[in-house]
Amino acid sequence: RRNIPVRLYLTGGSEKKSCFVLDDFSIRKGLASQAVEQIDFLPTKTGQYQFYCPIGEIRGSIVVRD
């Protein structure tokens, strides 16, 4: 939901280096294998936002609603 803080917990699932990039919120986070990384952000606008990893095959989206 818009204006409600978001906390994501991400884990690198392979031994290869990976990352999480969410350009619309200026988030860039490296993911280590088998380690849990925490990402916090505040979505202030509704919409669908794409995330990806430029060095891996991770792609998806986050939807922010009113």
pLDDT at 14: 76
pTM score, two decimals? 0.87
How far is it, in rounded angstroms, from Cα 18 to Cα 36? 13
* The pLDDT of residue 53: 93
Cross-strand bridge partners of residue 41: 6
Query: pLDDT of the chain along its 66 residues, tens only?
Result: 999 999 999 988 778 888 999 999 999 999 988 889 999 999 999 999 999 999 877 899 999 999
